[in-house]
Structure 1
C-alpha cells in the first residue's frame, strides 16, 4: 500500500487510527508488524512508495509507514520524534551535528554486523561510524555544489570558471544578457549549502573547520572574513536574484528550471526536482573557485548523507533491519538512484540515468567532504551559517564574523 502519510506524524495517526508498531491481520491471517520510516526527502516519495510496496510483497507480515518532514525542520525534530521508540524504527539522519547528537543520546542500534553493511563501498560509509561501530549507513553520495545550465553557458560562450575573477566575469556576462547568475535560496538552505564551495579553498584543511569547536580557529580570522566578503561581493554585483534572503528552495529551483537563472546554489540532490519541472534542461555541476587557479587544492564538495539507521528504542528492530537490508540490495538501490537522479554508496549499482552518468565524472575529481557537516555542534554550525545571512542582510563581514564568534565562544565555554 502507499505509505505517504503527510508531513506530520500526528496527522498520520489521525488518518490511520494507529501508531507505528501496532499489529493487525495480514493477508495470510497472521499478525502484521508495523514499522515507521521517517526522513526529509519529500521528492523521493514516489520511488520509496514503490520500494515499500515491493518490500511488503516480499515480507507480507511487515507493514511500513513512511512519514516525511521538511528538511529545514528535520535536524531539530528527528531526535525528539525518536525518543519514545514508536516513531522512526528506521530513520534517516544527516552526518555531522545531527549524527553526533543522536549517537550521544544512544538512539542508534549498532549495525556493524548487519548484512546490509557489506553492500556498501567502505570509503563512503565512514560518516556513519563512531567508536569503532557502524551506527548508520549513508545511502546517498551528494555533490553539494551549484548546478549550472549547460546550454545557457554554451549559448553565451561560457565555461566553468577556474578562479574568482573568472567567476565574477561569468556572472557579469550572464547579467548583461538578462539572466540571473545564481538562484539562491536564502530563506532556508541557501547559506548552508553555498558556504561549502565558497570556503573549501579559503580554508582547505579540515582542521580549520573542526577547530572552531575546540577554540583552535576563529571565524574572525582571514579565511572566514574573506569568504563572507566574497559572498557579499556577489550580492553587491547582482549575482543573486532580487530578495534572495526571502527566497525558499522551491522558488529558487523553479527559477533555475525555468532557465531564468544559470546556476542553482544547492547540489546534485536537486537534479530530480529540476528535471521534473523541465525535462529538457541539461545540467552539470561547478564550484566557485575563490583563490587563484594554482592555489586551489579542491575542485568540489561531496557528502555521504541520508544515513539510514535503526532506532535503538524500537520494539521492531528485526523488521527494521530487514527493510534496511532490502533498500541496500544493488537492485533496489539502483531503482532508487535512477528514479531520483541521486548517486548512492551501494556496491554494484547500475546507473542508467543520463544525469547520473553526466555528473559521475565528479567521482574522479578532487572533492572534499562538506565542511559544514564537519562541525559536530549544531549551535556552532548555526552561528557559522547565520553569519552569512547577517552579511547578506547588510552587516559588514567583519562584524558578522565577530558576532558569530562570540556565540561560538559562549557555546564551547559552557
Structure 2
C-alpha cells in the first residue's frame, strides 16, 4: 500500500510464542494459553497471554459478515480436524453489530473470538477491556506491519485487521466500454462525463443505497480524499479545528449534490439489496460501496468485469493528491471474558496462516492483510494493482463520536433531497457543536 497516510511500519519482537507451532493434520491439541479469565493477570484480564494450557471444546466466533459464513464454515472444518476445537458462528447485521456487540460480548457468553470495526468500535472495545493484548503472539509477524496499526490502541496490539478493503465505487466495465470510456476518470469533469455517457446507454449511472447508512456513506471517502485540507479532516471536525461550514466541506456537498442527479429514483428509500440487484443485473453501472460487496455481486450472477471508480473531485488538469481509498478492518481479537480463550487464540492463529488466509480471500473476493497470500480469485487478481496505488486510509472511520459522524453524513442526504450545500452545512455544524 503506497500512501503517505498508511500506518507507519513498526518494529516487532524477533521471537513470539506460537499457539499452533506443532499443529498439522492429526496434531495434538496441546496449545499455549491466551488472555482471558485465569490466563492473564488477576489485575489485568487483557494482559498478554501466559504460557501453558490446552485448547479443546467449542469456540464462538462473533462477527457481522453473513456473506462469509460458508467460507468460514469450510475453514472451521479444517481447523477442527487439526486442533479438535469446533467453531460456532454468531453473526449480527453490521449496523446492529456496531451498536450492540460490546454489550453482548462483555459477559463472555458469545464471542470467544470476535471482530471490531476500525475506529469507534475498536476504541469502545479498548475502553471496556474487551480485547486481550495480542502483541506477543508469534503470528503477528504473518501480517503486513503497515496495515495492522488500526488494530492498535495506545500502543497495544489489541486486534489484527484481517481485511484489506477498498472503499470505492465499483464500475461495470462492460457498460463503461459500451459508453466509449476505456479509462477510469482522474478528474471531476471526466467523472461527470462518464456519468453522462452511462446515462446515454439507458442505465442508471449510480445506484445509491440512501436508506442504508453503513453502505450509503462509503462514498464519502473518495468524495473528500482530494477536497480535505489534510488527511485528518474528520478527526479535526471532532476537535473543533475544522467545521462543516468550511469551504472544503461545502465544495464536497456541492459536488455530491451534482452526483445525486445521476442516482436511481427513490434513492433515499433504497436499501442495499435493491441497489445490489440493480448493479448485478446491469441496470446500474456503478455501485458506490466498496470491494467488500464483490462477493455478493458475483453471487447475484454478475459476470461482467469490475474496476474501481473513486469519485475524483480535483479540477481537470490538476493532479489528484490521492488515487483512491483503502481500509484495514474486520479486526480479529480474543475476548478477555472468553470461556475458551485458548481455542479462540488458536482460531485466530489458524486464520493468520497465509494458506488459510488465501482460502478466505478467494472465497469472499476480499483481499487480506496477511503476507505471502497467493490469490486464485480473478477479481482479486484483476484489482491487485490497487494494492500499490497512492491511496488514503478511509477518512470516514476517523470519527469516534457517532452523533458527529451522523451529522456530517446526513448533510449528504440533505443536499441530495433539496437543501442547498450552505443550509446543509450550517445544520450539520449546529449538531456538531452540540457534541463539542
After TM superposition, the score normalised by the length of structure 2 is 0.84
Aligned match for 1:96, one of 111, 116, 119: 119
Contact 1:191 1:388 in 2 (8 A): no
> Which residue is equivalent to 2:187?
163
CA distance in 2, matches of 1:107, 1:187: 31
Please state whether the residue corresponding to 2:131 is helix, strand or coil. Answer: coil
Unaligned runs of 5+ in 1: 1-20, 22-29
Counting only pairs closer than 5 Å after superposition, residues 305-316 of structure 1 correspond to structure 2 as 305-316=329-340
Please state whether the residue corresponding to 1:355 is helix, strand or coil. Answer: helix
Contact 2:116 2:332 in 1 (8 A): yes
CA distance in 1, matches of 2:409, 2:333: 27
> Which residue is equivalent to 1:402?
426
Superposed structure 1 runs of 4+ greater than 4 Å apart: none
CA distance in 2, matches of 1:279, 1:261: 12
CA distance in 2, matches of 1:403, 1:307: 34
CA RMSD of aligned residues (A): 1.7
CA distance in 2, matches of 1:251, 1:77: 26
Aligned match for 2:168, one of 105, 129, 145: 145
What's the offset of the Cα at 1:48? 0.4
What's the offset of the Cα at 1:378? 2.2
Contact 2:167 2:326 in 1 (8 A): yes
Aligned match for 2:146, one of 123, 147, 154: 123
Q: Deviations over 1:1-29 (max 9, x none)?
A: xxxxxxxxxxxxxxxxxxxx9xxxxxxxx
> Which residue is equivalent to 1:273?
296
What's the offset of the Cα at 1:393? 2.8
Contact 1:191 1:389 in 2 (8 A): no
> Which residue is equivalent to 1:393?
417
- Number of aligned residue pairs: give it: 381
Q: Say whether 1:112 aligns with 2:135.
A: yes
After TM superposition, the score normalised by the length of structure 1 is 0.89
Aligned match for 2:308, one of 285, 291, 306: 285
Contact 1:39 1:69 in 2 (8 A): yes
Contact 2:61 2:112 in 1 (8 A): yes
Please state whether the residue corresponding to 1:206 is helix, strand or coil. Answer: coil
> Which residue is equivalent to 1:329?
353
What's the offset of the Cα at 1:313? 1.7
CA distance in 1, matches of 2:251, 2:401: 23
What's the offset of the Cα at 1:394? 2.3
Contact 1:338 1:352 in 2 (8 A): yes
> Which residue is equivalent to 2:275?
252
CA distance in 1, matches of 2:195, 2:202: 11
Q: Bigger shift: 336-345 or 379-388? A: 379-388
Contact 2:229 2:248 in 1 (8 A): no
Q: Say whether 1:353 aligns with 2:377.
A: yes
CA distance in 2, matches of 1:75, 1:205: 27
Q: Say whether 1:225 aligns with 2:247.
A: no
Contact 1:337 1:343 in 2 (8 A): yes
Counting only pairs closer than 5 Å after superposition, residues 362-401 of structure 1 correspond to structure 2 as 362-401=386-425
Aligned match for 2:235, one of 210, 229, 235: 210
CA distance in 2, matches of 1:280, 1:223: 38
Please state whether the residue corresponding to 2:415 is helix, strand or coil. Answer: helix
What's the offset of the Cα at 1:379? 2.2
CA distance in 2, matches of 1:301, 1:152: 23
